[in-house]
Amino acid sequence: MSLLQVGGVSRRFGGLQALSDVSMSIARGQIYGLIGPNGAGKTTFFNVITGLVRPDAGSFMLDGKAYEPTAVHRVAAAGIARTFQNIRLFAEMTALENVMVGRHVRTHCGALAAVLRTPAARAEEAAIRARALELLDYVGIGAFGHLRARTLSYGDQRRLEIARALATDPKLLALDEPAAGMNGTEKVELRRLLERIRANGVTILLIEHDVKLVMGLCDRVTVLDEGRVIKEGEPAQVQRDPAVIEAYLGRAHEPA
């Protein structure tokens, strides 16, 4: 059974049909790639399934349950966590606090319990902190927990965003161009991290421009172009598909 089943998603921005009838089915435990040229609608699709942009049409199933992507925080509670194409950390908070915010949706302590410091509130707070420290270690930035997020290096900020997303205990981790702006070494480390996350049972949806990374890492790939799915399949198949090559490189010029 697939973890995420999305069918017939359409969205129009004024005169631009950003998405038309996009469907996708992601099996549990996969790393699923979403690729396409610039402006193909990848990020819009991301924003739709995570509730940031309302679709004109479409059906959504997560883990066998229908969900309505109408409110971002409810999608997070349902089990989809995301990162952003242009990193969106809580810049003035420490790395540790960033990850602790990720635990918000799985914890319950309210204002009164916090003010009274009830035993339950203290225990929950300790658990939040312990889990956040664990996740910082897991993504490899355990030493930087006390630093403000904006002082971290670019690659570490990307890792921190992943740690923060993992803190919500997601079923599906949606990453919007996690390798953008990374150098070769950082990309290799990112790849290892994503493989580790998959091995630990979290399904990953990945938007990525780096074809090498996608082809090496993903179990299945969907190619979008001008808001439509033009190919879906295993990376090797997709890579050879004429329509995909055309979308990326353009059509050979034919003499009139």
Partner 1 sequence: MTPVRAPATADPQSAAARRRALLTGLAITAVVLVLPLAAGWLGTAWVRALAFAALYVMLALGLNIVVGFAGLLDLGYIAFYAVGAYTFALLASPHLTDNFPAIALAFPGGLHVPIWVAIPLGATIAAGFGVLLGAPVLKLRGDYLAIVTLGFGEIIRIFLNNLNRPLNFTNGPQGINLIDPVRIGIVSFDRPLDVLGVQLTSPQLYYYLFAALAALSALVCARLQDSRLGRAWMAIREDETAAKAMGINVRNVKLLAFGLGATFGGVAGAMFGAFQGFVSPESFSLMESVIVLSMIVLGGLGHIPGVIFGAVLLSVFPEVLRHTVGPLQEQIFGRIVIDTEVLRMLLYGIALVVIMLYRPRGLWPAPLHGTARAPGGGDAPPPANRAAGGVEP
What's the closest the beta carbon of residue 15 comes to partner 1, in angstroms?
25
Q: Please, which of residues 201-220 interact with partner 1 by CB under 8 A? A: none
| Beta-carbon count within 10 A of 12 CB | 14
**By 3-state DSSP, what share of the chain in percent is helix, strand and coil, each rounded to 5?**
45, 25, 30
Query: Is there binding between residue 101 and partner 1 (CB under 8 A)?
Result: yes
User: In the bound complex, what is the minimum distance in angstroms from residue 104's beta carbon to partner 1?
Assistant: 5
- Write down the least CB distance from residue 76 to partner 1, Å: 3
Q: Which is nearer to partner 1, 110 or 255 (CB)?
A: 110
CB 181 within 8 A of CB 205: no
Q: Which of 13, 54, 68, 107: binder of partner 1 (CB under 8 A)?
A: 107
DSSP state, 148?
Answer: B
Q: In whole angstroms, how close is the CB of 227 to partner 1 at the nearest point?
A: 23
Question: Judged by CB under 8 A, how many residues of this single chain contact partner 1?
Answer: 50
Closest CA to 169 of 216, 123, 202, 213: 202
Q: Is 60 in the site for partner 1 (CB under 8 A)?
A: no
Q: Which of 77, 180, 215, 230 touches partner 1 (CB under 8 A)?
A: 77
Interface segment toward partner 1; rule CB under 8 A; list 3-11, 71-79, 180-188, 216-224? 71-79
Q: Which residue stretches of the chain are H helix? A: 42-49, 72-78, 95-102, 111-116, 119-139, 154-166, 184-199, 211-217, 235-240, 242-249
Q: Measuring CA to CA, which residue among 251, 253, 233 is closest to residue 243?
A: 251
Least distance in angstroms from the C-beta of 191 to partner 1: 19
Measure the CA–CA gap between 31 and 179, rounded to whole angstroms: 15
164 binds partner 1 (CB under 8 A): yes
Q: Quote the least distance from Cβ 77 to partner 1, whole Å.
A: 5
Euclidean distance between CA atoms 43 and 19, whole angstroms: 10
Other C-beta atoms closer than 10 Å to the C-beta of 199 total: 9
Nearer to partner 1, 89 or 244 (CB): 89
Count of CB atoms within 10 A of residue 74's CB? 13
> Which residue in the block uniquely carries the two structure tokens 């050979």?
252
Q: How far is the CB of 243 from partner 1 (least distance, A)?
A: 33
User: Which residue has tokens 């403000």?
Assistant: 148
Site string for partner 1, 134-163 (x = CB under 8 A): ---x----xxxxxxx-xxxxx---------
Report the interface residues with partner 1, using CB under 8 A: 50, 52, 72-73, 76-77, 81-82, 84, 88-94, 97, 100-105, 107, 109-111, 114-115, 117, 121, 124-125, 128, 137, 142-148, 150-154, 164, 167-168
